[in-house]
Structure 1
Amino acid sequence: MKKKLRFIIGIMGLSLIGIFLLQAFWLNNSYKISMDQFKRDIATVLEQNSNAVVFNEAIQHGIYGDSSKVYTSGMIAKLSRLLLSMSDEQGKKHKTGLTITLAMTDSSTTKDTKDSLNKKSGTKDSKSKLFTVNTDSTYIAATLKSQVPSLRHRLDSLFKTKGISSRYALKLSNSNKKGGIYIDQPQLFKQIKAKEVPIRVGLMTPYVMQLAIESDNQYYFRKMQWILLASTLILIMVSCSFIYMLRTIFQQKKVAEIKSDFINNMTHEFKTPITTVALGIEAMKNFDVLRKPELAAEYLDICESEIKRVAEMVEKVLKLAAFERSEVSLNLQQINVVALIEEVINNMQLMLKNKGAKLVFNSAEPDYSIKADKTHLSGVIYNLIDNSIKYAGEHPLIEISCRKEETAFIIEFGDHGVGIPKQYQNKIFEKFFRVPTGDLAKVSGFGLGLSYVATIIQMHNGSITLNNTPDQGTHFTIKLLQ
């Protein structure tokens, strides 16, 4: 059984580890995809910023369209790329200032836009406009600094549309690598190691901008939130299933052990009285005991006592089985709890005397009535006193007290016996459980008494708690609601 259990746990553990590893691999790939998307969004923002600057210059110089018209982002990007590509083409022929004549066109133009724009200087078209692209322009640091507010305003707006909230720094320099350099937030720029590729900004007198931007964990989380949620739920469900299965296996193992212990204990408990009765009958048959009335009566008393003992044990088992099937219902009636306790104590005087036990009963109330089942509540009191007699050692001292609280009646049972070890205190109300070590194991019983007590108290909507100190006795508190 142990080998099978270890094998099952091993297989389940390996399966769980495999699922965790697959989830980790999946999440890692998702994280890399989010990082790539972050980089693509940054590149898109930089391109959109460059296009916007070029388009604004084109509108400002009357190169293209009308500032009163609304242009789509696609139109802006198309024109900007065209103008930049044309300046690059001309830049291959000239090392300094470039003079290009472009024709003004409407945003609705669809035919061969590049041909209509790429007209040489001296065209007779009245809509042509001459402008100069100077790729050899040189800015001083102060002039570059003046570009930062508008750049930041535009970049902040574009980053917001992409859901990016990272801190960033800008480095502005000249296209010809001459003149001044300006770094906005130099400490942050130096701190960020991964920087974007420098990009040209502007058309007429362009400059170079380099962006350094921090990684954005919030961006990654937003991109991965549904994957993270699904992965977390899967891991929680699998882990809970694994734990529940292990718990069920161990509970079944525990039940099997309890069942085996119960059967062994019951066999032993029944064997002793049966053997005693058999010996008594044999003595009366074979040793002429029947001719000796006094001795025969003694033997019959012993047999009767043992038969009653067997009957009590059978009754306990049957009662517990009936409780488990919910076949027992309480016969509630108004009873005097104090008088009931005194009645049970009087009925147990012979047992107390035989064990040399002393019982002290104190009640703050002369009488107190509640609705309860007299028979079963008597059984609760009997079981608790009987337990104290069994486990309180030689000459046990048992103390019972009662008192009234605002909404409940409290009954306390205490003894000065060996107590219950701490590791077993949360199990004593479980059926069939018996403390397995020490002198307690030598006391006969099935481990049903306290389980019966707890069940009856719960059926009365009450509670029972244990206050115990090993070697200083056991103290039970019963709270019965009014």
Structure 2
Amino acid sequence: MKLRKFNLIMVIGLVAIVGILIAQLLWTRQAYSLEEKKFSQKVHIALLEVARKLYEGTKIELPGENPVVKVSNDYYIVNINNDFEPDILEFYLKSEFEKSDIRTDFEYAMYNCQSDEMVYGNYISASNKAEGKKSVYFPKHKNLVYYFAIRFPNERPYLLKSLLFWIGLSVALVIILLIYVYSIVIILQQKRYSELQRDFIDNMTHEFKTPLSSILLASNYLSRQPQISGDEKLSKYTNIIIGQSNKLNSHIGEILTIAKSDSVPMELDKKPVKLASVLNEAAETMRLKHTLADISIDAKDDISIQADPFHFTNIVYNLIDNSIKYCDGKPEISIRILSEKQLTKLEFSDNGIGIPTEKIPNIFDRFYRIPNSRSNEVNGFGLGLYYVKKICLLHGWKISVRNNPSKGITVILSIPN
């Protein structure tokens, strides 16, 4: 159900972005058409004004029909039943185009009735950088005696320049669409890899559980036999098998717990927990397990927090166990509680081998183990601190690590009151 909902959301998002992009492209096209129509109207008005001025001072009246004809998008002809000078025409064209805010290059040509051909006039550059540029071919028109033609060679770039905002917005939407599609592909790949990894872990751990249970059952049975219990070496080897099998069983259970918490949201059963009680109980258990460990606790009996007792106890055991594992000499662990106005801080300090500063951000990653000789000696999968960080985040706590000035590290749990 969740997968279907996820896929549905992605499809809806993709359709929405594609729809917005199509609408944006249609709006841009419409805006270009409007700009083109507006430009054509301004040119038409300007050329009408040029034709009117060419008739001024003559005895010939301006004809009633429209003298301006648009032959193509960038090509116009103006019919003038009157002789005129090229310099005067160019002056009028420049002044009227400037008045109409037409600021792009244009070229004009006049019809010479004596030679019966179009005579090139001039190329006028808006930036005055292309004076003297050769003209393209101007076709001759029948049934016209006195007329001139106008061409705008850069009309399309000129119109597109006025639509930079719309074009930029369209490009931005295309980039967003590509990023969205790329993100979907990455998410689907990561989801597939995560499912494959989880399925592999589940299958692997379950396949290990059956033979391991048989090994433990047979080992416990052997350990109770008189022939085994009466032989010191056989009893020792049997206890090693049982001990290592229990350790492997514990690791498998840890992996299953992590895999399950990744697929199903973990629920916390928060209750008032007395810190001193949990810390003393955990310390006593660890002292029995590791007789050389020196664990000191500085905690008041009346300090309580809201936490899941089971998971909080596991956090304490994990942190103390790590401090003992990663110590070259006699483990010395100091646990103390600092009460502030808004926070209760729980600090675990040890005299272990420490952690390189650049590696500290990675120690809470799943399966991560710092590459050193001590890590190679210690059994485990690199899931302990990942589990600790996950439980802290579920509680809304903050966990941080720093190296001690002399030796070892200090792990700090910041618990809001």
TM-score, normalised to structure 1, is 0.53
Aligned to 1:285: 225
C-alpha contact 1:48 1:77 (8 A) present in aligned 2: no
Assess, with a 3 A threshold, how the Cα gap between structure 1 residues 277 and 358 changes in structure 2: closer, same or farther: farther
Give the Å deviation of 1:270: 9.2
Letter in 1 for 2:97: L
Aligned to 1:54: 51
C-alpha contact 1:273 1:309 (8 A) present in aligned 2: no
- Please tell me whether residue 357 in structure 1 is matched to residue 299 in structure 2: no
In 2, Cα distance between the equivalents of 1:318 and 1:138? Answer: 92
C-alpha contact 1:409 1:481 (8 A) present in aligned 2: yes
C-alpha contact 1:418 1:473 (8 A) present in aligned 2: yes
Aligned to 1:348: 286
* Identity fraction in percent: 17
Assess, with a 3 A threshold, how the Cα gap between structure 1 residues 253 and 459 changes in structure 2: closer, same or farther: closer
In 2, Cα distance between the equivalents of 1:170 and 1:406? Answer: 81
In 2, Cα distance between the equivalents of 1:184 and 1:316? Answer: 82
Aligned to 2:141: none
Assess, with a 3 A threshold, how the Cα gap between structure 1 residues 220 and 56 changes in structure 2: closer, same or farther: same
- Please tell me whether residue 476 in structure 1 is matched to residue 414 in structure 2: no
Pairwise CA RMSD = 5.7
In 2, Cα distance between the equivalents of 1:458 and 1:52? Answer: 77
Give the Å deviation of 1:77: 2.8
C-alpha contact 2:123 2:132 (8 A) present in aligned 1: no
What aligned pairs does 1:179-194 form with structure 2 within 5 A after superposition? Answer: 188-190=127-129
In 2, Cα distance between the equivalents of 1:267 and 1:472? Answer: 42
- Please tell me whether residue 402 in structure 1 is matched to residue 399 in structure 2: no
Letter in 2 for 1:54: A
What aligned pairs does 1:15-414 form with structure 2 within 5 A after superposition? Answer: 49-58=46-55, 63-64=60-61, 75=66, 77=68, 84=80, 86-87=81-82, 133=83, 135=84, 154-159=96-101, 188-190=127-129, 219-222=159-162, 229-230=169-170, 233-234=173-174, 236-246=176-186, 248-249=188-189, 252-253=192-193, 256=196, 278-279=218-219, 281-282=221-222, 284-285=224-225, 287=227, 289=229, 309=247, 312-313=250-251, 316=254, 319-320=257-258, 323=261, 324-326=263-265, 328-333=267-272, 335-353=273-291, 356-362=292-298, 367-414=302-349
Give the Å deviation of 1:330: 1.1
What aligned pairs does 1:385-464 form with structure 2 within 5 A after superposition? Answer: 385-415=320-350, 416-419=352-355, 422=358, 425-426=361-362, 428-430=364-366, 433-435=367-369, 437-438=371-372, 439-464=374-399
In 1, Cα distance between the equivalents of 2:185 and 2:316? Answer: 39
In 1, Cα distance between the equivalents of 2:326 and 2:208? Answer: 20
C-alpha contact 1:322 1:328 (8 A) present in aligned 2: no
- In structure 1, stretches of 5+ residues that fail to align are 1-26, 88-132, 176-181, 200-205
Deviations 1:82-135 (A, max 9, x none): 752x33xxxxxxxxxxxxxxxxxxxxxxxxxxxxxxxxxxxxxxxxxxxxx4x4
- In structure 2, stretches of 5+ residues that fail to align are 1-24, 70-75, 113-121, 139-145
**Structure of higher CA gyration radius:** 1
C-alpha contact 2:212 2:245 (8 A) present in aligned 1: no
Deviations 1:243-289 (A, max 9, x none): 54245435644664676578768978997897577456436436263
Assess, with a 3 A threshold, how the Cα gap between structure 1 residues 251 and 382 changes in structure 2: closer, same or farther: same
Give the Å deviation of 1:414: 3.8
In 1, Cα distance between the equivalents of 2:226 and 2:358? Answer: 52
- The number of equivalent residue pairs is 361
Assess, with a 3 A threshold, how the Cα gap between structure 1 residues 222 and 368 changes in structure 2: closer, same or farther: farther
C-alpha contact 1:428 1:434 (8 A) present in aligned 2: yes
In 1, Cα distance between the equivalents of 2:40 and 2:306? Answer: 80
In 2, Cα distance between the equivalents of 1:226 and 1:185? Answer: 27
In 2, Cα distance between the equivalents of 1:461 and 1:191? Answer: 70
In 2, Cα distance between the equivalents of 1:374 and 1:477? Answer: 19
Deviations 1:170-215 (A, max 9, x none): 99xxx9xxxxxx99999x424678677799xxxxxx9x99999989
In 2, Cα distance between the equivalents of 1:418 and 1:399? Answer: 15
C-alpha contact 2:295 2:333 (8 A) present in aligned 1: yes
